[in-house]
Structure 1
Amino acid sequence: MRYKYQYIIGFIVLLGVIFGLRLMTENNQFIYTLSGWFLGIGSLGLLGSLYMLYGKELWTFLLKSKDIWLILASLILMELLFVIKNVDHLYLTYLFGLIISLFLWVIIYLSIPKTYAKIFCVFTIIMFGSYVIGQDIYVRIFHDYFTFKEALTLREGVESGQSMYLFNWLHPVILFLMISTVWIYLKNMVVTHVIWNRQIARKITTSFLMVFLLIMLNAKIPEPDQTDLVSDHYLYQTVYSRQRFAERFGFFHLMGRDLLDSFTPRWHSKKDIFEINQYFESNPKAYSTHDQVGLFEGKNLIFILAESYDESILDEVLTPNLYRLKTEGISFSNHYTPVFQRTTSDSEFIFNTSLIPSIEDGPTVTVFKQNSYNQSLAQLFKDKGYLTQAFHGNYKEFYGRHIIYENYGYDAFYGQDELNLTPETGRFDHIFFDAAKDKILPTDTKFMSFIITFAGHSPYTEEHDVAHTHIDFVNSIYPNDDPSINYYRATQVELDHMIGNLFSSLEDKNILDDTVILLSGDHYPYTMPQEVYQSFTGITENHLKQRGNLYLWSSDVTPITIDTLTSSYDILPTLNALFDLGGDPTFYVGNDAFIEADRYVLFKDYSYFDGTNHHFLYDLKETSDQSRKISDLYQIYKKILRTNYFK
């Protein structure tokens, strides 16, 4: 036995030397890569030596513990089926991460009383099977993994995803595994239980620490000039990307880590406030002084957030009013609308605050709905004496809008119930507008009205009542296009009808010349089958799909196309200048579109687009001044939310 311990100690020393060599040769790519391979091979050797040390005892124990065999086999099979279908890359740390998560599960199972162990076992199988199916559905629709923190918006997620489920082979297989495993376990298995003693505890602790060491040794570490986002340790600490976490530490491990995170509060300190203050003092932004400042001062604003509007379907015949907005006003042709975790509500958040939505802490609209946002768009207009109101055809409690919009500074939010709409009529933008137009367009005060349209929401099938209403018109113009595209077009025809009614109402109330209309989509139609969308638009790269639209219309504006790189973050700072609202631009992520400034689009996966290249902060070979600046930006604005900085 002694020589086996010596063998393990020798392996650990060797791995330590290789690890140290790797740290010292980060600037030599060949040696760095070679040492990484040796480290991986050595880690597998250490794992083998652990088997040599405890393998015989382990097999003897497992042969007597058929219940553990059954559960581990079921969990591993469900894991592998999901990984095969949804994960593109796996890393060596995946093996060790999966082992350690299963190891922890076995320790818990063996330690608790038998009655509770049975409950724990059944719960684990049902939970993980449901998790696999749920994540598979979520990935297809949202191209990301959900987090348990999003249970706070579960109702909204279910309603948004209605009619978008597509059957695939994985789901019945997982259901069969779940049901058969639970049935066999409850009918035939004897629960294994261990009475712990010092010897068993030593062996368990030694094995656990060895596997944990292997994770640490093989985890990616940042080079001296790289940001923390390169680090797998930072990834494990924050789980900022669930996809990357699954690739590196295992899918079952992700579920356990996510559960733990859901019950662990995020802490902040006075140091965070100090760092935010220091950041703003070191990075001030000057007030705009260009010729367009005050161009719309004193005018009303109608801000239209157009559900799923994508300019690829813009058509002079099909959507003449959208076409009018684009061609008779200021059109930003290089505009991006980054899609964050809670899609529409996160776009609303960016439009209203020019802050970065929550990436690590759960849905912004639930976790941070009680925050103060006194530098918001609505608050700036309100401070200038405007009536600020928001409108939507769905019920106002959806995404907690009735709370967060009050904290944005809106005087009122009118939803389905307040406008006497039904769930059916609320989906029709023109019916919604007719019900709300006298509130949207008051004639006795200056106003800023924020409209969230509804008709453009998926599904893009005959089941969509709004699309069904306009599909014959669309098919008459595009008889040969894919049905998904035409049903999608039909939803945007409804939006166009609403805009036509808006123009007519502004003229009827004699306030057309006193009103500015802004329209921007909240995201591209990501719920459409992606092969259809990609074939129709010719766009396959995810960041380019998020190229959006921004139109600013006023009767006295000379039509112009602006090709400056802009994004959702830039809307508030731009309106701040055009309406001369007096907001401090230092606090905003974005910049006025009419000034010279660094331009980039920030995405939810800690990547950014500079107009030419798409950079991933966690995958940069070298860190530039710009990427370090953007990394700092992400960290500061995360702390702004956590500390409720503007309270």
Structure 2
Amino acid sequence: MPFAFGNQFQALGYKTYAFHNNTYTYYHRDRSYPTMGYIYYGYGNGLDVKKTWPESDVEMIEKSIDYYLDGSGQPFHVYYMTVSGHLPYAWGDNQMSSKYKNEVKDLDYSTPVKAYIACQMEIDRALELLLQKLDEAGELENTVIAMGADHYPYGLQPSEYNELCGKKMVDPFTRYENTFILWSGDMKEPVVVDKPCCSMDIAPTLANMFGLPYDSRLYIGTDIFAPEPHYVIFSDRSFINDKIMYNAGSGKVTALVDEEITKEYVKECSEYVSELFYCSTHIIDMDYYGYLFPEGVPWMPRKKDE
């Protein structure tokens, strides 16, 4: 995976670590993270967090911070996969929800929503600790933090989603709506980007901002700051772009602009999305990057026997 950030930053002389506070083999992370260029520690593989459900994000920061804030002055790139906000959302069954139960007891929500909000407080405390440690080490001004959601809270019921978003969800897309946070210690003022974008756009956006070797043709996503239209694409090939929301299940088209939306335009957009699915699958199945770079990419070290 030549374009994975672990590999690219490692080639620039960075320490590259990945940490996960749940079972280290889950989803074969013990194989994928090293392939992406990371030295990987998870529960059962060097990250000695207390085994609960879910495990503590605060403890993950406490147990991992010294790996890269070691006083060496070497730059670092760190990937954290958190788990403390995971379901179930109930007192007793979720140790992180129970931990913050008193903080949410007076909120005007149902018990599952209170439990959901409570366990999300753990990542807030973990970020607080991380910023504190970076500041103490004199690295806060040199740090960029990129934070995105893994998935919507599928442990809740539709009525509970309505509670969270403060309105009745009338389309299949609203539950996926979230915010990508990109923060730098030397930011002068906040910048808000409100055009549609999705998780696939994060990698090319960061690659472009950091000046990494970058060819937009080799990413399915698009730089969030690029002027061309963006697509938010769902697993059933529904999508949102700058003009329409298209529900592939029902065929319903919802216009987002005050102009005529033709059948030809919808067909063209749907075909484009189908092509992205086709290309994405074949990049992996056909080892497309191996075909493009048979001798390896310049920024990845060659094996000793090559």
> Please, what TM-score do these two structures have when normalized by structure 1?
0.40
Q: Note the alpha carbon deviations across 1:52-80, whole angstroms, 9 max, x for none.
A: xxxxxxxxxxxxxxxxxxxxxxxxxxxxx
Give the CA RMSD over aligned residues.
1.9
| Structure-2 change in CA distance of 1:443 and 1:565 (3 Å) | farther
Map residues 450-529 of structure 1 onto 2, 5 A cutoff: 450-462=79-91, 463-476=93-106, 478=107, 480-529=108-157
1:641 alignment counterpart:
284
8 Å contact 1:523–1:548 — kept in the other structure? no
Instruction: Give the whole-Å Cα distance in 1 for the aligned partners of 2:146 and 2:217.
Output: 23
8 Å contact 1:380–1:583 — kept in the other structure? no
Alignment length (residue pairs): 272
1:386 alignment counterpart:
14
**Among 422, 431, 446, which residue is 2:75 paired with?**
446
Q: Note the alpha carbon deviations across 1:18-61, whole angstroms, 9 max, x for none.
A: xxxxxxxxxxxxxxxxxxxxxxxxxxxxxxxxxxxxxxxxxxxx
Point out where structure 2 has 5 or more consecutive residues left out of the alignment: 252-262, 291-306
Point out where structure 1 has 5 or more consecutive residues left out of the alignment: 1-372
Q: Note the alpha carbon deviations across 1:189-222, whole angstroms, 9 max, x for none.
A: xxxxxxxxxxxxxxxxxxxxxxxxxxxxxxxxxx
Q: Note the alpha carbon deviations across 1:580-635, whole angstroms, 9 max, x for none.
A: 11222210011111121121111111221114532245765655333222221211
Instruction: Give the whole-Å Cα distance in 1 for the aligned partners of 2:197 and 2:14.
Output: 27
Instruction: Give the whole-Å Cα distance in 2 for the aligned partners of 1:535 and 1:470.
Output: 19
Instruction: Give the whole-Å Cα distance in 1 for the aligned partners of 2:69 and 2:172.
Output: 38
Deviation of the 1:442 alpha carbon = 4.3
| Structure-2 change in CA distance of 1:428 and 1:592 (3 Å) | same
Instruction: Give the whole-Å Cα distance in 1 for the aligned partners of 2:97 and 2:249.
Output: 41
Deviation of the 1:460 alpha carbon = 0.5
8 Å contact 2:204–2:221 — kept in the other structure? yes
8 Å contact 2:53–2:95 — kept in the other structure? no
1:470 maps to a residue whose letter is Y
2:288 maps to a residue whose letter is Y
Instruction: Give the whole-Å Cα distance in 1 for the aligned partners of 2:231 and 2:170.
Output: 20
**Among 618, 623, 627, which residue is 2:270 paired with?**
627
2:218 alignment counterpart:
587
Q: Note the alpha carbon deviations across 1:273-312, whole angstroms, 9 max, x for none.
A: xxxxxxxxxxxxxxxxxxxxxxxxxxxxxxxxxxxxxxxx
Deviation of the 1:564 alpha carbon = 2.3
8 Å contact 1:600–1:609 — kept in the other structure? yes
Instruction: Give the whole-Å Cα distance in 2 for the aligned partners of 1:613 and 1:510.
Output: 46
1:556 alignment counterpart:
186
Instruction: Give the whole-Å Cα distance in 2 for the aligned partners of 1:529 and 1:638.
Output: 32
Instruction: Give the whole-Å Cα distance in 2 for the aligned partners of 1:603 and 1:441.
Output: 38
1:627 maps to a residue whose letter is S
| Structure-2 change in CA distance of 1:607 and 1:425 (3 Å) | closer
Deviation of the 1:408 alpha carbon = 1.7
Q: Note the alpha carbon deviations across 1:246-287, whole angstroms, 9 max, x for none.
A: xxxxxxxxxxxxxxxxxxxxxxxxxxxxxxxxxxxxxxxxxx
Q: 1:566 is paired with a residue of what secondary structure? A: coil
8 Å contact 2:49–2:55 — kept in the other structure? no
**Among 27, 37, 46, which residue is 1:399 paired with?**
27
**Among 410, 414, 420, which residue is 2:41 paired with?**
414
Instruction: Give the whole-Å Cα distance in 2 for the aligned partners of 1:576 and 1:497.
Output: 28
Instruction: Give the whole-Å Cα distance in 2 for the aligned partners of 1:415 and 1:484.
Output: 28
Q: Note the alpha carbon deviations across 1:57-110, whole angstroms, 9 max, x for none.
A: xxxxxxxxxxxxxxxxxxxxxxxxxxxxxxxxxxxxxxxxxxxxxxxxxxxxxx
1:541 has 2:171 as partner = yes
Instruction: Give the whole-Å Cα distance in 1 for the aligned partners of 2:155 and 2:10.
Output: 36
| Structure-2 change in CA distance of 1:441 and 1:541 (3 Å) | farther
Deviation of the 1:505 alpha carbon = 0.3
Instruction: Give the whole-Å Cα distance in 2 for the aligned partners of 1:385 and 1:497.
Output: 30
| Structure-2 change in CA distance of 1:604 and 1:639 (3 Å) | same
Which structure is higher in RCO with an 8 Å CA cutoff and minimum separation 6?
1
Q: 1:451 is paired with a residue of what secondary structure? A: strand
Moved more, 463-472 or 621-630: 621-630
